[in-house]
């Protein structure tokens, strides 16, 4: 009987899809289902493989069909919704319009570029994401290049606090800046986290010998999944960092050497450690992931005077 089947967390994903490998919606599908949730998704673009794979083809979603797919997804009312790659302003507009009817939590992964390749999308698309979607998001997960673009800082250097506060001031309740620093010599990478009160530097293994195709998608999908299962944004960020590092280390030839979260989760069981921040920290230390408090500078301090409640999916 259907009545005897326990309900599972429903998680939404609006981003690109891929025929082979773990990127976009396929990364979300693999992680969400492995962790006990269920996914409903809408593709903004389809590619049979990631760029660089011979024979790659892409098809961008027709905006009218995309609107129908997104509206269907929103009508299912998932508890948390991940928004990833959107190729054109028309697709951004579709999502922004649909969010007016959405009552859950929005995680925005603004996939607009990286330091090696520059912008993946037009400047108009990047502006549309900043102006139309960030105001709807409770969690944002840009990489450092994307944070630079969203903040419009150009070549200016900002402190870690200033980076986080600049994005926090755009409206989200939790900010995670990935790939903030990488050290080939130390084989360590660093990301930054804040909920407006706590400010952390999260350090993780860095494996430069792997191309890490899909690492950003796996990270955003994992944050979404752990938050959707009841973890705080900090616990979700810690566990997603560990899972992403493990997924990179499990890279195979499949999908043109995309990272492999399925292989990682077959050897690593994080469930139960996402429910409390301190427990998540201790658990992730076993994966060589650690968190250290970022001390405020004389110019910049926390945005919140009191710690947000810990019994909610989102701090703030």
CB-count burial class (<10 Å; 0-12, 13-18, 19+) for 50: buried
pLDDT of residue 6: 55
- Give the integer Cα–Cα distance in Å for 264 and 131: 36
Burial 105-144 (b: 16+ CB within 10 A, else e): bbbbbbbbbeeeeeeebeeebbbbbbebbbebbbbbbbbb
What pLDDT is stored for residue 153 in this prediction? 83
Six-digit token string for 199: 């400010």
Report yes or no on whether pTM surpasses 0.85.
yes
pLDDT for 1: 47
pLDDT for the residue 2: 52
Three-class DSSP category at 127? helix
Distance, in Å, from the CA atom of 223 to the CA atom of 139, rounded to the nearest integer, reads 9
- Which residues lie closer than 8 Å to 138 by C-beta, 6 or more apart? 105, 106, 107, 172, 173, 174, 314, 316
pLDDT tens digits, one per residue of 210-244: 999 999 999 999 999 999 999 999 999 999 999 99
311 to 96, 226, 231, 307: CA distances (angstroms): 28, 14, 9, 12
Q: Are 14 and 203 in contact (CB under 8 A)?
A: no
Q: In terms of Cα–Cα distance, which of 206, 184, 203 is closest to 192?
A: 203
Distances (CA, A) of 69 to 43, 77, 99, 107: 8, 13, 13, 19
Q: Structural domain boundaries of the chain?
A: 8-293
Do 141 and 178 meet the contact criterion of CB atoms below 8 Å apart? yes
Does the domain spanning 8-293 belong to CATH 3.40.140.10?
Answer: no
Please return the burial class of 304, using the count of CB atoms within 10 Å of its CB with bins 0-12, 13-18 and 19+.
Answer: middle
Q: What is the pLDDT along the chain (316 residues), one digit of tens a residue?
A: 455 555 789 999 999 999 999 999 999 999 999 999 999 999 999 999 998 899 999 999 999 999 999 999 999 999 999 999 999 999 999 999 999 999 999 999 999 999 889 999 999 999 999 999 999 999 999 999 999 999 998 767 788 999 999 999 999 999 999 999 999 888 999 999 999 999 999 999 999 999 999 999 999 999 999 999 999 999 999 999 999 999 999 999 999 999 999 999 999 999 988 889 999 999 999 999 999 999 988 788 899 988 887 656 554 3
């Amino acid at each position: 009987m259907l009545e005897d089947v326990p309900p599972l967390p429903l998680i939404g994903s609006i981003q690109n899809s891929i025929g082979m490998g773990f990127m976009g919606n396929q990364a979300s599908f693999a992680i969400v289902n492995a962790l006990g949730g269920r996914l409903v998704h809408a593709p903004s673009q389809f590619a049979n493989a990631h760029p660089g794979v011979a024979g790659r083809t892409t098809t961008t979603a027709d905006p009218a069909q995309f609107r129908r797919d997104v509206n269907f997804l929103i009508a299912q009312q998932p508890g948390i919704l991940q928004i990833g790659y959107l190729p054109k302003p028309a697709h951004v507009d579709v999502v922004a319009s649909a969010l007016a009817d959405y009552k859950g939590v929005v995680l925005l992964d603004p996939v607009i570029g990286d330091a090696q390749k520059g912008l993946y999308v037009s400047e108009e698309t990047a502006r549309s994401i900043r102006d139309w979607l960030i105001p709807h998001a409770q969690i944002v997960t840009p990489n450092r290049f994307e944070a630079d673009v969203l903040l419009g800082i150009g070549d200016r250097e900002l402190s870690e606090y200033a980076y986080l506060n600049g994005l926090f001031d755009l409206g989200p309740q939790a900010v995670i800046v990935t790939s903030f620093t990488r050290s080939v010599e130390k084989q360590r990478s660093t990301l930054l986290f804040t909920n407006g009160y706590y400010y952390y530097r999260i350090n993780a293994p860095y494996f430069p010998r792997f191309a890490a195709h899909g690492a950003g998608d796996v990270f955003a999908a994992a944050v979404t999944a752990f938050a959707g299962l009841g973890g705080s944004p900090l616990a979700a960020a810690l566990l997603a960092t560990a899972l992403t590092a493990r997924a990179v280390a499990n890279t195979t030839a499949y999908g043109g050497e995309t990272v492999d979260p399925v292989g990682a989760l077959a050897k690593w069981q994080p469930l139960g450690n996402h429910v409390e921040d301190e427990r998540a920290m201790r658990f992730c230390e076993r994966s060589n992931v650690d968190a250290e408090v970022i001390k405020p500078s004389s110019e910049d301090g926390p945005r919140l005077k009191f710690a947000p409640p810990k019994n909610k999916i989102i701090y703030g």
